[in-house]
Structure 1
């Protein structure tokens, strides 16, 4: 059993199962979450629940999986932040998706405290974490990465890719989520096209999954698209944020990205379509795959669940539960 002390902030759809894997692997895990009740189940499984981020200052590695750069900054440097006292963890491991500039600024501030930042954004959702199919892209000081690689590998069972120093992993994650948005938008469009021509969604998507164009992503989203199951894995608002980050980076680096720009505007239409729902705010907290309904609306097609469960490929083996 490892004696490395790992602090973890973020008990959301991604953060909880990531920290849970560390607990199951035998790490000494200390956790905090803004909503305490979300962290309590993991405390019952062996993690130590603390009262504030400041109480995590004694750990060797401080991990974070939160929504925005501002959230990361608050956890690190807020009034009750990890660094609000005199102790400093040696390595800060951030798995969040944040802007490159914000990450660089956090890295510089941490260096003033003698700490190193390892950026390790991930690819996948909570089900991927549980099934051992999450992957991670990492950048930062090589020596620091070498120290935390076993921790990252425990979280990301599908592979860890070290891409270099500084914020390079942030660029990779931004590019990844841009692709996520583009693929999802186009997958929705072609699925609606096929259905309007008379092809059931399940039949069409099964063909796509078994073709050279199929992927882990298209397969695990098929059940949602077939059965109109918008159980949240990632919200439209978070996807919009990432598309904006991609376009901002593209402008800074003089890279034309017309397909991304078109996808961003198509996604914006989903926010408008949400106003037609009884509870627009709640609808926009549902999964981003619900853009299928917006595409169908534009095509004059009313979708119905096909009530036909489809294997996601992310089923967790019974022994891993």
Structure 2
């Protein structure tokens, strides 16, 4: 299709997260126009009723354009590059970006959108594609409060809650802090799991005890099946986690905050990304730490809950 997108809500970016989130909106009853660089990735959305748009400029006729892409450069290209959403005469009312990008990159995009008369919300999320499919994402947004209020029902439909944290790029700072902790927790969880196993406690027993303790969380629960059965089907790669740890360290330097635990984790994840540069889940960190401990792990083949059902 070219010309005009038919729906008030447009969605750009149908990777693992984007497809899961857009699917949830369609199933919640929102009319959705979608665009993706690889057009075939829009097929599952078309099958459930979304309108597939082949021209990014057509998305400018939507009231709200939601973006979920990999990098700041990807977002800039989609909005302002050749044939981008804002390169024609039409303008959406607002752009809501849900990607994990830096606060400085997001601020630059905000300035460009402001100059084009388009409102901008930064709205990153907590959770992976599996969490999105289970309807348990948390959306955290920043920008003009009136724009957040206008799209709050849309954001809330993506998961269990949507929160407003303030003006400008504060949600980006939140996301950077969140994902830095994300890395530190998986590092610690793998270390203590190996300690317990080497002492004689089976992984599934130890992890279930952690999940039932004051330390248990949605995160420890949904990573438990991977760690127990060594199923490293990708939710988030070591390379992407390294990107986020680097953002965390840069934020620490910018704000003058000492982050020794995050620094050690960043080095560990850098090593992991060299050993596993491809499409594999970052929880493969367990194997690397086991190797360093002189351990050879085997899947326990025990059915365990991820806590998302």
Residues 267-312 of structure 1 deviation map (CA, whole Å, 9 limit, x = unaligned): 12213434xxxxxx4xx31001110011001001001000012111
- 2:198 is aligned with 1:196: yes
1:278 alignment counterpart: none
Answer whether contact 2:137 2:161 (CA < 8 A) is retained.
yes
Counterpart CA distance in 1 for 2:55 and 2:187 is: 40
1:258 to 235, 257, 260: 260
Counterpart CA distance in 2 for 1:234 and 1:271 is: 12
**Shift of residue 49 of structure 1?**
0.4
Counterpart CA distance in 2 for 1:92 and 1:58 is: 12
1:230 alignment counterpart: 232
- 2:164 is aligned with 1:162: yes
Residues 192-217 of structure 1 deviation map (CA, whole Å, 9 limit, x = unaligned): 11111111100000000000000011
Range 170-179 or range 32-41, more displaced: 32-41
How many residue pairs get matched? Answer: 304
1:38 alignment counterpart: 41
Counterpart CA distance in 1 for 2:274 and 2:73 is: 27
2:275 to 273, 289, 313: 273
Residues 12-36 of structure 1 deviation map (CA, whole Å, 9 limit, x = unaligned): 1110111111111222211011111
Counterpart CA distance in 2 for 1:244 and 1:272 is: 15
> Structure 2: which 5+ runs fail to align?
1-5
- 2:134 is aligned with 1:131: yes
Matches within 5 A, 1:1-321: 5-155=8-158, 157-274=159-276, 281=277, 284-315=278-309
Answer whether contact 1:135 1:158 (CA < 8 A) is retained.
yes
Range 16-25 or range 96-105, more displaced: 16-25
Residues 69-114 of structure 1 deviation map (CA, whole Å, 9 limit, x = unaligned): 1111111111011011011101100000100110000000001111
Give SS of 2:54's match: coil
**Shift of residue 52 of structure 1?**
2.6
Answer whether contact 2:57 2:85 (CA < 8 A) is retained.
yes
Counterpart CA distance in 1 for 2:94 and 2:214 is: 41
Hey, which bits of structure 1, 4+ residues long, moved more than 6 A? none
**Shift of residue 4 of structure 1?**
6.3
Counterpart CA distance in 1 for 2:274 and 2:242 is: 13
RMSD of aligned Cα (Å): 1.1
Answer whether contact 1:269 1:294 (CA < 8 A) is retained.
no
Q: TM-score, normalised by structure 2?
A: 0.96
Give SS of 1:57's match: helix
Answer whether contact 2:7 2:33 (CA < 8 A) is retained.
no
Counterpart CA distance in 2 for 1:300 and 1:38 is: 42
CA distance 1:272–1:17, change in 2 (3 Å): closer
Q: TM-score, normalised by structure 1?
A: 0.93
Counterpart CA distance in 2 for 1:272 and 1:173 is: 24
Counterpart CA distance in 2 for 1:90 and 1:272 is: 43
